[in-house]
Structures are given as C-alpha cells and as structure tokens.
Amino acid sequence: MAARHPQLNENGELRHLLTLEGLSREMLHHILDTAATFVGVSDRDVKKVPLLRGVSVFNLFFESSTRTRTTFEIAAKRLSADVVNLNITTSSTSKGESLLDTIDNLVAMHADMFVVRHAQSGAPFLIAEHVNRTRGSEVHVINAGDGRHAHPTQGLLDMYTIRHFKQDFTRLRVAIVGDVLHSRVARSDIHALTTLGVPELRVIGPHTLLPGGLEQMGVRVFTDMRAGLRDVDVVIMLRLQNERMRGALLPSAQEYFKHYGLTEEKLALAKPDAIVMHPGPMNRGVEIDSAVADGPQAVILDQVTFGIAVRMAVMSILAKS
C-alpha cells in the first residue's frame, strides 16, 4: 500500500500545506472558495473573525522575508490567533540546536501551527513528518517557501488572482517568464495551473535559467520572449534570484533586461486584456519596466491583498482538520 502524503490526514484532508503538487482540482478550488469568503474582512471596521481564537501560530523564517511573513502575521491575527515571530538569528538554532529540537521546545510551549520558510528544500516536510510522529493531529505546518522547491501559498494567491480577473482557467494561455531554475514560485504555479486545467502553459527564459524536464510537466518552453508572449492572457514575471545562483549564468542585468525584461512594447504582443503578475520583490529595470509594473494591466498589488485572504483560508482549513 502506498504511503500517505505527510500533508494529508487519514481522511485525505489537508493537515499541513507543504506543496501544491498532488493536490486535486477540487481541493485547490476549495481553498480558493474559502479565501473568497475572507476577502471582505479587510473592508470591515473590525477586521477580525474568531476562527483561530486560542490558537498559537509561530512564524519560523530562517530566510529573510517582509511580504510573506507580514501577510501571514496579518492573516493569523485577523483569524484571532496568537502570533509569535521567532527571531531566528538570535534563536537556539544559531547556537547549534537542531531544527527538530527547536520544534520540540516550541511545541512544549503549546505551539499549534508553524509557518516555516527555510533555505533548504524539504525542511517543512521534515518538520511535518516529525510532528506527525510525535504529536498526532495536534500541530500543523505551512510551507512559506523552502529552497528551490515550493511556495504553495504564493501559488494559491496567484491562482486566486488569475481566477478573480479571468474566471475560467480552462480558456487561458499563461506565460511564466524569467529565472525558473531557482524559482519555487514557478514550480508551485506550474503544478497548480496544470491541475486547474490551463490548456497552454508557457515558460520563457534563457537556457541557463530553465531547468530540465519542463516539457514532461506539460509546459511549452520558449527562449524567445516575443514569441512566447504572443497572444497570452496572463504574464507571470519572476525575480532574478541572484542569491541562489552559482557561477555566471547571465552576461549582465542590462543584457537580461534587453532580452527578457517586460516592457510595454513586449507586453503589446500579449492579448490586450492580459494581466501582469509578479510575486515580488520586483527588480525594476531588470525583469520588469516601471511603466509596466505601475501600468493598467499590472495586478501585482492585488496579489498582495489577496494573499492575506488566501493565507487566512489555509490556516482555517488546517485548524479544522
């Protein structure tokens, strides 16, 4: 008998959110539908609902982050959870304590949910498998980005944004542009878009920034940006992740912008009502021109706003499992 995925409980429900790979179309729509019920919370005078009252959420960010950590904190507080932001640089792990010993100590402090970002791929899986063995169904883990592997809540908020503006995934042509090789966001987006039935998914970038095996994932690969953008409905730009690169993969940032930076001229090749997305932080003048980032087709700030509702949805679903 095949082993059950560590993010699912015995009923096939989400116990942790570690990856979008393998989640059903129904599960993805369930999360997006739940997020839709939370979008309006931000417009209330009192921006809180009591669903996580008494629950302790620990943000464990072993990599720097502003946008993701802040939106998780806001999401948890709007659900009435108690939130603890652990300063990793001064925590026991920097003094030699193992990751799992740190988790055990935090569980002993009655942690109920961990939001984990880590530079090593698989770290949230390791934590989830550990609490599955030691804590039964009491503790939940959310992957807030692990190495090059996955960023499931970013993938979900990207799907929410696309559904909000385009409604029907099964009629779309989507292009993901840039540093796919180092992008955990790209991997999560590819898994979600293919599961949700996007008929044509394109990846655009230089050979040095494209991983092998993309065609096997149902993706069309382009190294010519103009050809890849033609008639697309959605353009997802990716940040150049210089901190993850080993060796000289690009001649220069200026050369990259010339060939793969999104300008108004290149965007004109997409459909007139195409939307432009970016997971942030943006490198203006490297992967995207300011005229596009601040233009009428950009929905980048909408992504950030929707991210709060999506993360509220994930936390509320896990808390019920």
By DSSP bridging, strand 113-118 and strand 56-61 are parallel
Beta bridge partners of 173: 200
Q: Could you write out the DSSP letters of every residue in 242-286? A: GGG--S--SS-HHHHHHHH-B-HHHHTTS-TT-EEE--S---BTT
By DSSP bridging, strand 200-204 and strand 219-222 are parallel
216 marked ligand binding residue: no
117 marked ligand binding residue: yes
134 marked ligand binding residue: no
54: CB partners within 8 A, 6+ apart: 82
| Nearest-10 Cα torsion for 202, 205, 209, 211 | 20
Helix, strand, or coil here: 232?
Answer: coil
Whether 35 contacts 317, CB under 8 Å: no
Beta bridge partners of 25: none
> Which run of H or of E encompasses 83?
strand 82-86
280 marked ligand binding residue: yes
Cβ burial 294-317 (10 Å sphere, 16+ → b, else e): eeebbbbebbbebbbbbbbbbbbb
151 marked ligand binding residue: yes
Respond yes or no on whether the N-terminal peptide bond of residue 199 is cis (omega within 30° of 0). Answer: no
For the chain, how many residues are written? 321
CB 152: neighbour CB atoms within 10 A?
A: 31
68 marked ligand binding residue: yes
Q: Detail the residues annotated as belonging to a binding site for L-aspartate.
A: 95, 184, 239
Residues belonging to the binding site for carbamoyl phosphate are 67-68, 117, 151, 154, 280-281
Annotated binding site: 67-68, 95, 117, 151, 154, 184, 239, 280-281
